[in-house]
Structure 1
Amino acid sequence: MEKFTKLTGVAAPMPLINVDTDMIIPKQFLKTIKRSGLGANLFDEMRFDADGNEIPDFVLNQPAYRNAEILVAGDNFGCGSSREHAPWALLDFGIRCVISTSFADIFYNNCFKNGILPIVLPQEDVDKLMDDASRGANAKITVDLENQVINGPDGGEIAFEVDAFRKHCLLNGLDDIGLTMEKEASIDTFEAEMEAKTPWLKAV
């Protein structure tokens, strides 16, 4: 998993509330178990019409936000079903951070496991960042995970909270497999001890 330390990028404003996981990545794209390729269908029913043409008014279709790496979203983002494809699609598109007043629990947890930083802030702070994001590609936002602050394009600073363990995982690029591999030496020792104690269990 790619480390998340400090991110400076374009923030796309999406003030819609209750954006569920089916809106993020519709069910017809869930057949794959690959994490790559889903970005093309992120927000598919909002980005494209029935003929597959881009809907110009949708924020990520606008020139200023095509390369957005931060999403400033409305309340209760990621609600609905528990599909892990939702953070996969966001990440594949290039979104590394989502900021909202609240997230659905499963989506929130899945973000951390896939290298995306979800940040919960009070409404007034989200409103400020939404306003910053609406100014387009020249108004970049910096998210500093180490110091737990967001810096706006005008130099304003907003502090945010994050669980210490999840912060550690993101800073070091550790997903569930990576966390397990941190214990590789202990696992090898345990396996050697078990093999010595129960040699009859050794695979032929």
Structure 2
Amino acid sequence: MAGWTEHTGQAVALPLESIDTDQLIPARFMSTPRSEGYGRFLLHDMRRDKDGTAIADMPLNRHPEASILVARRNFGSGSSREAAVYALVDFGFRAVIAPSFGDIFASNAVNNGLLPLKLDPQVVEEILVGLGGDCATATINLETCTLCIGDDRHGFDLPDKWRQKLMNGWDDIDLTRDRQQEILAFRAARRAEFGWAWPS
């Protein structure tokens, strides 16, 4: 997975709250191999009618070029399915902006290169109003932890480990491997001090 430090793309509004993982990708699509891509399943039942026809005024259908999604609170709640993140990433999203996220969703997002960007609810509402039914160019910088959209600039908090993962394209295993020398040194010191506890 490629890391990223700065992303400029089109932001689109989906002014709904509590969009859960079953909405992000309905369970019936999860038997599809990931190699075939999950993007077409993203928010399937919001984007398409019962006949499978795309709903014209659905924001993601109007703006398939968008790579930054803006939504209301509690985004990614529900079950822990990582496929919800796969669907967003495969559709082309690099970031989701919301006032709050499901904890497991947020961790899965970072491990797959997707930024869960948390902003104050009032700020999010201002962005949603500014976007309306349209798109706007936005730039996210992970080094400075800033979001620039239109003439507005917003700072955001991002845990250091999350920033390291996103910028390097790492998951939890890569983060552990980065400390391999420390791990080996600890093991050697432990073995030297407590040799009797080690099997012969």
TM-score under structure 1 length normalisation: 0.84
- Indicate the residue corresponding to 2:194 in structure 1: none
Is it true that 1:177 corresponds to 2:166 in the alignment? no
- Paired AA for residue 163 in structure 2: K
- Indicate the residue corresponding to 2:94 in structure 1: 96
Gapped regions of structure 1 (runs ≥ 5) = 191-204
Tell me the distance in 2 between the aligned counterparts of 1:72 and 1:8: 14
Tell me the distance in 2 between the aligned counterparts of 1:161 and 1:188: 32
- Paired AA for residue 18 in structure 1: S
Is the partner of 2:75 in helix, strand or coil? Answer: coil
**Structure 1 residue 183, shift from structure 2 partner:** 4.9
> Are the aligned partners of 1:100 and 1:126 in contact in 2 as well (CA < 8 Å)?
yes
Tell me the distance in 2 between the aligned counterparts of 1:146 and 1:135: 30
Written as runs of structure 1 = structure 2, the 5 A alignment for 1:70-89 is: 70-89=68-87
> Are the aligned partners of 1:41 and 1:89 in contact in 2 as well (CA < 8 Å)?
yes
> Are the aligned partners of 1:35 and 1:89 in contact in 2 as well (CA < 8 Å)?
no
* CA deviation profile, 1:164-185 (whole Å, cap 9, x unmatched): 1111111111113323443567
Is it true that 1:38 corresponds to 2:23 in the alignment? no
Is the partner of 1:140 in helix, strand or coil? Answer: strand
Is the partner of 1:131 in helix, strand or coil? Answer: helix
Written as runs of structure 1 = structure 2, the 5 A alignment for 1:181-192 is: 181-183=177-179
Is the partner of 1:31 in helix, strand or coil? Answer: coil
- Indicate the residue corresponding to 1:52 in structure 2: 52
Aligned CA distance change for structure 1 residues 182 and 109 (closer, same or farther; 3 Å): same
* CA deviation profile, 1:127-158 (whole Å, cap 9, x unmatched): 12213333634x2011111100111112x210
- Indicate the residue corresponding to 1:17 in structure 2: 17
Is the partner of 1:10 in helix, strand or coil? Answer: strand
* CA deviation profile, 1:55-77 (whole Å, cap 9, x unmatched): 11211111xx2111000011101
- Give % identity: 40
Number of matched pairs: 190
> Are the aligned partners of 1:72 and 1:133 in contact in 2 as well (CA < 8 Å)?
no
**Structure 1 residue 31, shift from structure 2 partner:** 1.3
Written as runs of structure 1 = structure 2, the 5 A alignment for 1:70-149 is: 70-134=68-132, 136-137=134-135, 139-149=136-146
**Structure 1 residue 30, shift from structure 2 partner:** 1.2
- Paired AA for residue 32 in structure 1: T
Tell me the distance in 1 between the aligned counterparts of 2:177 and 2:184: 11
TM-score under structure 2 length normalisation: 0.86
> Are the aligned partners of 1:10 and 1:133 in contact in 2 as well (CA < 8 Å)?
no
Tell me the distance in 1 between the aligned counterparts of 2:23 and 2:41: 10
Aligned CA distance change for structure 1 residues 163 and 36 (closer, same or farther; 3 Å): farther
Tell me the distance in 1 between the aligned counterparts of 2:168 and 2:32: 28
